[in-house]
Amino acid sequence: MSTERKVAQLIQPQINSFTAEDMARYRFGSYLNGGNGGPDGDEFAPAGKWLAYADRMWDASIGPLPGDEPVIPTIWGTDAVHGHTNIVGATIFPHNIGLGATRDADLLRRIGHATAKEIEVTGIDWNFSPTVAVARDDRWGRTYESYSEDPRIVAELGAALVEGLQGTPGDADYLREGRVAATAKHFFADGGTDQGVDQGDVNGDIESLKAIHAVPYPAAIDAGVEVVMASFNSINGVKMHGNRDLLTGVLRDEMGFEGVVVGDWNAHGQIAGCTVDDCPQALLAGLDIYMVPDDWKALLENLVAQVEDGTIPMAKLDEAVGRVLRLKLRLGLLDPNAAKPSARPNAGDYALLASADHRALAREAVAKSQVILKNDGVLPLKAGARVLVAGNAADDIAKAAGGWTLTWQGGGELDNSYFPNATSIYRAIESEASAQGGSATLSPDGTADAGAHDVAVVVFGEEAYAEFVGDRKTVVFEDTEGLDLLRKFKAAGLPTVAVFLSGRPMWMNRELNASDAFLASWLPGSEGAGVSDILFGKQDATGRLSFSWPADCGGAPVNGTQGALFNLGYGRSLADRSTMAALPEDCGYLTEGVSTAWFDLGRLDSGISAMGGDTRLPNLIGEGGGVVARGFDKDRQEDAREIVFGPGSTLSLSQRGDTSGDYRILYNLASQPAGPVTLTVGEREIDITRNFALSAGKGWREMIITEQCAPGLGNRIAFTSDAPLTIQIARIARQDMPEGAECSF
């Protein structure tokens, strides 16, 4: 193999950043679809298009080469982290935090196998899963990707998922029919960063850190995991992707890992002295494959040059390429008659996606993951009960699925039409209530007549998020929609059941006090029936916390009895109906009604409602009333929004409860408005057409709105444009400016 062909085996671009012609010319060893990637730019493309794309790239990678250059097929990697959830219609299993509550390794093995089969339907070879993070700070936006704060639980369940995905080494089906390559990620201590900051720094003695965060890797290696993904975080200030002592010294020399180490999304670019297209340091530290979504050409050329000038010893290159080739050998892809993706078992068998067996398996997983934190006797719901089902999340499948679902962040504009093979929690309750001679009424805003019902089930929880977008400063759940409904029904004398959808334990003292029963439902996915199975007692609740539940709202890490309201291992069976004493509701971080950051880092604060016309735009994504709001990359992936106004359309944002503070809005207007633009602040309408005309084309600017131009300020702002207009917004906050500060744009 030529040096260039060898290096190409270590380059992994993202789909939509290269063409089949590029694949034929460069012969990338692998490629990926990121959380927002899909064939031909369509992340909602039907499964058949994914399979056709796999064939297209396979064919491009195996065309004959001049001379005696060996032809080596490419492979495709994807994040099927809770089912093959890139695909519309696939089974959506509970996220790992819920699976951790099951403690059921056999269940994980079966989920891995089912997931591998659904991945094969679309011709993909490799899953970037399981995450074997040991999350130790619940403020981390990826807590839900962790099975537990206890490394032993993570080790057991992570290894089981590896076995399910890959099969057992030595068995006939290992990495063959119904199996794909697995990836243990992110090595290591991704769940141990300071204050849970995603991609942040982990401080401490290496041996102590290994004793918590490295524990799952030997188990995954023993299970045969073929790939390990290096983590974004640094340890004591050194980025993992450039840390030879750990990436080679610990993972390979100490733990004996012989498989492939793949980098994370441009993470090599974070190494001191590196850029995303120039980084020999990572290969020298022990990385094999560079996940380089877009800058693949420059990186390939630089690596070739660095081998040729001796910066990278040829032996080092050969070692890395050898591991990649061994993976492909084990996958059967170097066989002379290796089948192209669509000719393999399960390929194109679309009935496998959310098959009855897979949905039943997911329903079993959901039921086993539910944890009853409180039950003063209202559960199980009685046969014949008239159930009032309230809360915006009750019939919202996207919210029950969370991040990494169809899109990277999930949620947003994903209404139920995107989930043809799923049952919302409401639908499941309605079906079971009716089957037992009762009824269920969906009333998201809770206005149905409480007196005409026997019990209220309030389904509420976190908006979907992924990675750093989910990072928080405390574990306060500011959105009082659920709390207000629970209190309302309690005041009306109606027994209440809280079903809380979250990617982590949060401070729920107020909601626990306002409910007669409280179910930690986590992020259950497509099978709402698993939740109703517990509510109606069709099976007992065996879910037990795999994380300590905090007593305090401040977010200080709780990993053990110290500071825990409920300990790891806690969870009630349905028979346990002992009443729970009232909990303290004081919280120093409760900014009831006053939320400083309305929108920041790609995340709409849970206490803020964004509307396009009269249509809600969860997390400021989606369309309605002529307004289209979509993710926009300012400094990081989707950390801002691009708002496109149709003629005469209005975008409004409002906060529940009392609020104060001047408005500060970070925005970018590329071109002049073509017609009048009005900003409404509280009750005051301000014509900002001229202001926008002056600020257009001048890059990111901060608009400051004070009482000087908008007396009262109120708790709502709205932009109305008479003509089409496009604006990018990165931050909206309430913050008092100095006395007398003027408005500026």
Any residues with CB less than 8 A from the CB of 491 and at least 6 apart, and which? none
Q: How far is the CB of 14 from ligand GLC (least distance, A)?
A: 8
Q: Which range touches ligand GLC (CB under 6 A), out of 31-39, 335-343, 425-433, 664-672?
A: 31-39
Q: How far is the CB of 344 from ligand GLC (least distance, A)?
A: 23
In the window 645-674, what residues touch ligand GLC (CB under 6 A)? none
Nearer to ligand GLC, 79 or 120 (CB): 79
Nearer to ligand GLC, 481 or 638 (CB): 638
**Side-chain half-sphere CA neighbours of 479 within 13 A:** 21
Distance CA 373, CA 118 (A): 34
Residue of 474, 399, 481 lying closest to 656 (CA atoms): 481
Q: How far is the CB of 492 from ligand GLC (least distance, A)?
A: 45
Per-residue tokens: 249? 């010294």
- Say if residue 736 is exposed, middle or buried (CB neighbours under 10 Å; 0-12, 13-18, 19+): exposed
Q: 517-522 and 496-501: which strand pairing?
A: parallel
The reply to whether 95 sits near ligand GLC by the rule CB under 6 A is: no
The reply to whether 296 sits near ligand GLC by the rule CB under 6 A is: no
- Residue 264 among the catalytic residues: yes
Nearer to ligand GLC, 228 or 354 (CB): 228
Nearer to ligand GLC, 34 or 618 (CB): 34
The reply to whether 432 sits near ligand GLC by the rule CB under 6 A is: no
In the window 587-626, what residues touch ligand GLC (CB under 6 A)? none
What are the backbone angles phi and psi of residue 442, rounded to the nearest 5°? Answer: -85, 120
Per-residue tokens: 18? 């290269």
What is the biggest distance separating any 2 CA atoms in the chain, rounded to whole angstroms? 83
Q: List alpha helices for 313-354, DSSP H.
A: 314-330
Q: How far is the CB of 397 from ligand GLC (least distance, A)?
A: 22
Binding string to ligand GLC for residues 461 to 490, with x set by CB under 6 A, is what?
Answer: ------------------------------
Distance CA 27, CA 5 (A): 7
Nearer to ligand GLC, 198 or 432 (CB): 198
Distance CA 317, CA 305 (A): 12
Distance CA 388, CA 452 (A): 9
State whether residue 631 is helix, strand or coil.
strand
Q: How far is the CB of 145 from ligand GLC (least distance, A)?
A: 8
- Residue 415 among the catalytic residues: no
Residue 683: CB atoms within 10 A of its CB come to 11
Q: Which range touches ligand GLC (CB under 6 A), out of 29-37, 299-307, 352-360, 545-553?
A: 29-37
Nearer to ligand GLC, 32 or 367 (CB): 32
Nearer to ligand GLC, 411 or 495 (CB): 411
Any residues with CB less than 8 A from the CB of 322 and at least 6 apart, and which? none
Q: How far is the CB of 131 from ligand GLC (least distance, A)?
A: 7
Distance CA 652, CA 546 (A): 40
Beta bridge partners of 76: 31
State whether residue 411 is helix, strand or coil.
coil
The reply to whether 638 sits near ligand GLC by the rule CB under 6 A is: no
Beta bridge partners of 211: none
Judge whether 438 and 520 are in contact, CB under 8 Å.
Answer: no
Distance CA 541, CA 573 (A): 5
Per-residue tokens: 39? 């064939």
Q: How far is the CB of 410 from ligand GLC (least distance, A)?
A: 13
Q: How far is the CB of 404 from ligand GLC (least distance, A)?
A: 9
Binding string to ligand GLC for residues 212 to 251, with x set by CB under 6 A, is what?
Answer: ----------------------------------------
Nearer to ligand GLC, 141 or 624 (CB): 141
Nearer to ligand GLC, 158 or 673 (CB): 158
Nearer to ligand GLC, 35 or 482 (CB): 35
Of 118, 264, 288, 605, which one is the catalytic site residue?
A: 264
Q: Which range touches ligand GLC (CB under 6 A), out of 30-38, 429-437, 472-480, 677-685?
A: 30-38
Distance CA 402, CA 359 (A): 18
Candidates 264, 277, 462, 511; binder of ligand GLC (CB under 6 A) is: 264
The reply to whether 128 sits near ligand GLC by the rule CB under 6 A is: yes
Q: How far is the CB of 232 from ligand GLC (least distance, A)?
A: 6
DSSP assignments along 349-397, one per residue: -GGGTT-HHHHHHHHHHHHHH-EEEEESS-PSPPTT-EEEEESTTTT-H
Q: How long, in residues, is the chain?
A: 745
Q: How far is the CB of 34 from ligand GLC (least distance, A)?
A: 4
State whether residue 696 is helix, strand or coil.
coil
The reply to whether 79 sits near ligand GLC by the rule CB under 6 A is: yes
Please give the size of the binding site for ligand GLC, defined by CB under 6 A: 8
Place of tokens 């097929």: 73
Of 138, 190, 462, 467, which one is the catalytic site residue?
A: 467
Angle formed at CA 299 by CA 293 and CA 303, multiple of 5 degrees: 140
Judge whether 316 and 289 are in contact, CB under 8 Å.
Answer: no
The reply to whether 185 sits near ligand GLC by the rule CB under 6 A is: yes
The reply to whether 731 sits near ligand GLC by the rule CB under 6 A is: no
Candidates 13, 35, 550, 673; binder of ligand GLC (CB under 6 A) is: 35
Residue of 675, 688, 674, 676 lying closest to 717 (CA atoms): 688
Place of tokens 């307004």: 627
Binding string to ligand GLC for residues 133 to 172, with x set by CB under 6 A, is what?
Answer: ----------------------------------------
Nearer to ligand GLC, 185 or 241 (CB): 185
State whether residue 630 is helix, strand or coil.
strand
Q: How far is the CB of 45 from ligand GLC (least distance, A)?
A: 17
Candidates 29, 34, 444, 550; binder of ligand GLC (CB under 6 A) is: 34
State whether residue 509 is helix, strand or coil.
helix
Nearer to ligand GLC, 262 or 365 (CB): 262
In the window 308-347, what residues touch ligand GLC (CB under 6 A)? none
Q: Which range touches ligand GLC (CB under 6 A), out of 28-36, 38-46, 238-246, 570-578?
A: 28-36
Beta bridge partners of 520: 371, 500
The reply to whether 265 sits near ligand GLC by the rule CB under 6 A is: yes
Phi-psi region for residue 104, left (φ > 0), alpha (ψ -120 to 50) or beta? beta
Q: How far is the CB of 327 from ligand GLC (least distance, A)?
A: 16
Catalytically active residues are 264, 467
Binding site for ligand GLC (CB under 6 A): 32, 34-35, 79, 128, 185, 264-265
